[in-house]
Amino acid sequence: MNKKIKSLLGAVLSLTLLLAGCSAPAESAESSTDKLNVVATTTMLADLAIEIGGERITANGLMGPGIDPHLYQASAGDVSLMQKADVVLYNGLHLEGKMGEIFENLSTQGSTVICIENGLDESMLLAWENDSSVHDPHIWFDVSLWKQAAKTVTDGLTQADPKGKADYEANLEAYLEELDETDTYIRNRVTELSESQRVLVTAHDAFQYFGKAYGFEVRGLQGISTDAEAGTSDVSALADFIAERQIKAIFVESSVPPKTIEALQAAVKAKGFDVAIGGELYSDSLGGADSGAETYILTVKANIDTIVNALK
Ligand SMILES: [Zn+2]
């Protein structure tokens, strides 16, 4: 595990250096290795690439911990990294809301482009708010959907590097087992809450798949994207809901500024009920260095621990 974390952090660090020093530093980073060069948009996907790719790949994540993918604008350095990559890995479902055109152009340029959206069972996808023609992109909080993502990454890496097929498949098999254990861990912790305690209020609507998979009613202050701000009427309606249902705790998210949830807490107080801030959930990125949540599995475990400990 430590090795994995180190290689993920190393990837993020070397990327940061690349972006920070703009004067053509790329040569040393890429020429010295015959490993498959994978560039992933989010921290979740960089982690997944390392899990499946193992020693055969290097993974660079464009977005670091705490970065909001809905609002992320690719820099010129990012585009250059993607153009040089053997494999580009992204979520799709409009998660990377400002990067759509970049992926379209990339797929015509010879690198293997893996879009997680394409490998998902469509019947499991949730609508984006009330628009059934668009889907909620936050699929990673249902572990069974992340297993589908792992298979998509395995297929994509195999396509880019057919010699690695047996390695990728063995890594997939081991990882699916770990994901099953993680799913069981989540379900066991949920049983510590009564049904009426299973209500999750967060900064934005990132947890609908989580709610559906694990039996929580979920409310986000902002919508599915952080692109639009919550209005005062949204705050007031959600404050009513919390006060009426006497919900013990609401949650800050690591990739959304805490002020929105603090405003909600104040609005609940004005209605005569005290709701606690139950801690910080990782929503659209994994935890950073030394957070104890540097991988996908550690992140989803940290989240369920935070949720259950605050609500029970
Ligand atoms: Zn989100």
Domains plus CATH for the chain? 32-187 (3.40.50.1980), 194-311 (3.40.50.1980)
Q: 83 CA to middle of ligand 1, Å?
A: 26
> Strand, coil or helix: what is 5?
helix
pLDDT of residue 49: 98
Q: 241 CA to middle of ligand 1, Å?
A: 22
Q: 92 CA to middle of ligand 1, Å?
A: 12
Q: 55 CA to middle of ligand 1, Å?
A: 31
CA dist list (Å): 264 to 65, 70, 129, 230, 247: 25, 22, 21, 10, 13
Q: For the chain, report the end-to-end CA distance as a whole number of angstroms.
A: 30
Q: 206 CA to middle of ligand 1, Å?
A: 5
| Angstrom distance (rounded) from CA 189 to CA 67 | 28
The answer to whether residues 226 and 131 touch, using CB atoms and an 8 Å cutoff, is no
| Angstrom distance (rounded) from CA 238 to CA 255 | 21
pTM above 0.75, yes or no: yes
Q: Partners of 114 in the beta sheet?
A: 89
Helix axes 296-311, 43-53, angle to 10 degrees: 130
pLDDT of residue 77: 95
Q: 116 CA to middle of ligand 1, Å?
A: 16
Q: 287 CA to middle of ligand 1, Å?
A: 15
pLDDT of residue 261: 92
Q: 145 CA to middle of ligand 1, Å?
A: 16
Phi, psi of 4, rounded to the nearest 5 degrees = -60, -45
Q: 264 CA to middle of ligand 1, Å?
A: 18
Residue stretches of the chain with pLDDT short of 50: 1, 3, 6, 9-32
pLDDT of residue 23: 37
Q: 153 CA to middle of ligand 1, Å?
A: 21
Q: 102 CA to middle of ligand 1, Å?
A: 20
pLDDT of residue 165: 98
Q: 148 CA to middle of ligand 1, Å?
A: 19
Q: 161 CA to middle of ligand 1, Å?
A: 32
The answer to whether residues 61 and 15 touch, using CB atoms and an 8 Å cutoff, is yes
| Angstrom distance (rounded) from CA 93 to CA 118 | 9
Among left, alpha and beta (phi > 0; psi -120 to 50; other), residue 129 is: left
Q: 138 CA to middle of ligand 1, Å?
A: 6
The answer to whether residues 202 and 216 touch, using CB atoms and an 8 Å cutoff, is no
| Angstrom distance (rounded) from CA 232 to CA 237 | 9
> Tokens 């990454």 sit at which residue?
153
| Angstrom distance (rounded) from CA 10 to CA 236 | 44
Farthest CA pair distance, the chain: 64
Q: 162 CA to middle of ligand 1, Å?
A: 34
pLDDT of residue 107: 74
The CA-based angle 135-137-143, given to 5 degrees, is 115
CA dist list (Å): 133 to 90, 93, 121, 136: 20, 11, 15, 10
Q: 22 CA to middle of ligand 1, Å?
A: 29
